[in-house]
Structure 1
Amino acid sequence: EFVTATRSQFGRGGMLTKCSIAHKVAGLGISVHIANGKTPDILLNIVNESAISTWFQPSKKASGTKKWLAHAQAAQATVHINAGARAALLAPGQASSLLPVGVVRIEGEFQKGDLVRLVDETGHALGLGLAEYGADKARERLGQHGQRPLVHYDYLFLTAEG
């Protein structure tokens, strides 16, 4: 609530971007500090825990695959999911895969192993994942129960929060 997108009299802006990136990196299991780089011995003081800084506590260690997914850019297609799937994927402390029952629409073409972008029904980005099968098979299974996951949890990186 204290970080805004507007520029202040003290700086050139960018604090919102710094915090956003720091949060993303901490989510990958890496400790992040934002501090004044002009302060003498700032790195030593951070290591000694005597620096004034903002610390982003790392979450549990992410797998190499999840780290790669977090920074991947070239999604082949967009998978639109319903509110139930959104709630299941974003539920705290719960590892969920994306099942076809929660998929409402697919934009674009993809094959097994391709990167797909996940969005909710309003178009809000939720994350990225590797498809377990191609777009044709996924379209056949839209909304169906009892099907294999379209994106398995091990190959899913969520960018949104519940």
Structure 2
Amino acid sequence: MSGKRIVIKLGTSTLTGGGTRLSRRAMLSIAAQTAELLEAGHEITLVSSGAMAAGREALGFTKLPPHIAGKQMLSAIGQTRLMQFWAELFAIYEHTVGQVLLTRGDLARRSGYLNARDALDALLAAGVVPIVNENDTVATDEIRVGDNDNLSALVANLTDADLLIILSDISGLYTADPRSNPEAQFLAVIEHLDESHFAMAGGSGSALGTGGMTTKLQAAQLAGQSGTTTVIAPGTTPNILCRIVAGEPLGTTILPLATRRESRERWLLAERPQGVLHVDSGAVRRLRQGGASLLPVGITEIEGSFDRGDAIKLLAPNGSALAVGLAAYSADELRQLKGRSSRQIAHVLGYTFGDEAVHRDNLVLL
């Protein structure tokens, strides 16, 4: 198996090895496994907790401060140390990392969502490992995701990931708490995640982290809506990442309700088009042959006012509906680009978001 997009969420307990300080040995193991997956052709994004733990270590704090400002201070100090550790460890395997700090507020606006998606795509295309964390230094309750489990699901959606792996000190989902109920049964595969599974989840996880099994199931549910499979597994298991990607049944696997393509198609078809692109016969032929994007050269006319990322309808020369998709440029930008070669985009606009007016991954033929 190669060429998969994978998001890996690393809980604080995984990064500290169950202690109060970041474990260089545990982090080195993650870096080594990630490097192996990269060299096998996969694209990897890490969602890394541990900033506050790194800040506590730097200041010698034994407990978290009770007030928000104190926690933000630890995040500010710890985030730079956390990234320094990751950069040094990945450098051993000759891989580069890049920091991405997000809040829910960044993703609530369409423009922010697209900018975050494009930044992650650019890092992955360059062979860089994005390391994502919540921007706890400036985040408020209104814009916080609140835990890195759900943040990892949002990142899986952003990157259109095939697989989300959530590592923590939790082995997976049981029918009851195995520490108090010897009859608790382990659930290796969940085909249809529902409320009964949330009832089994119980309370929070470790004292160091902010998410327990409930937030992991929330993340799996959110990722599943985008067609992404989730695996919840123990971070202490040797070579856990490579073994999961190789198909070994470890942890709890939660299957999505739809494939990534089905999920995207349903979403696009449900979106109300904000404008119309008329395309020429050559564009119709290329699109119907399958696997092609719509380029500006194939556009003959633009109707309506829409922004980059809005849903639009494509019409053939005879006026029949051809497809729906997401615009890579605004209506005003496309009016300047219609009929032109993609090589002219940067010259005409002074910048470029890519060669395509509508990318094939964001297009559904009717």
- TM-score normalised to the size of structure 1? 0.56
* Aligned match for 1:80, one of 278, 300, 309: 278
Q: Which amino acid aligns with 2:280?
A: N
How far apart, in 2, do the equivalents of 1:107 and 1:61 lie? 30
1:149 aligns with 356
Q: Which runs of 5+ in 2 are unaligned?
A: 1-258, 346-354
How far apart, in 1, do the equivalents of 2:317 and 2:305 lie? 19
Residue correspondence of structure 1 range 28-107 to structure 2 within 5 A: 62-72=261-271, 74-91=272-289, 94-107=290-303
SS class of match (2:302): strand
Structure 1 residue 123: Cα displacement:
0.7
Q: Output one character per residue of 1:72-91: Cα deviation in whole Å (capped at 9) or x when no partner.
A: 3x100110000000000001
- RMSD of the alignment, in Å? 1.6
How far apart, in 1, do the equivalents of 2:269 and 2:330 lie? 21
How far apart, in 1, do the equivalents of 2:260 and 2:308 lie? 26
Residue correspondence of structure 1 range 123-142 to structure 2 within 5 A: 123-142=319-338
SS class of match (2:261): coil
Structure 1 residue 132: Cα displacement:
0.6
Conserved? CA contact 1:113–1:133, under 8 Å: yes
How far apart, in 2, do the equivalents of 1:67 and 1:82 lie? 26
How far apart, in 1, do the equivalents of 2:337 and 2:279 lie? 13
SS class of match (1:105): strand
Higher relative contact order (CA 8 A, sep 6+): 1
How far apart, in 2, do the equivalents of 1:137 and 1:70 lie? 24
Q: Which moved further from structure 2: 74-83 or 140-149?
A: 140-149
SS class of match (1:101): helix
Give the number of the structure whose alpha-carbon radius of gyration is greater.
2
Assess, with a 3 A threshold, how the Cα gap between structure 1 residues 61 and 133 changes in structure 2: closer, same or farther. closer
Q: Output one character per residue of 1:51-96: Cα deviation in whole Å (capped at 9) or x when no partner.
A: xxxxxxxxx9724222211333x100110000000000001xx301
Question: What is the aligned-residue identity percentage?
Answer: 37
Q: Which amino acid aligns with 2:360?
A: Y
2:171 aligns with none
How far apart, in 2, do the equivalents of 1:102 and 1:143 lie? 6
Q: Which amino acid aligns with 1:110?
A: F
Q: Which runs of 5+ in 1 are unaligned?
A: 1-59
Residue correspondence of structure 1 range 6-45 to structure 2 within 5 A: none
Conserved? CA contact 1:104–1:142, under 8 Å: yes
How far apart, in 2, do the equivalents of 1:71 and 1:134 lie? 20
How far apart, in 2, do the equivalents of 1:81 and 1:135 lie? 14
Q: Output one character per residue of 1:106-156: Cα deviation in whole Å (capped at 9) or x when no partner.
A: 011110010000001111001100001101110100101124211001100
2:61 aligns with none
SS class of match (1:62): helix
How far apart, in 2, do the equivalents of 1:70 and 1:135 lie? 20
SS class of match (1:107): strand
Residue correspondence of structure 1 range 100-119 to structure 2 within 5 A: 100-119=296-315
Report how many aligned residue pairs link the two structures: 97
1:158 aligns with 365
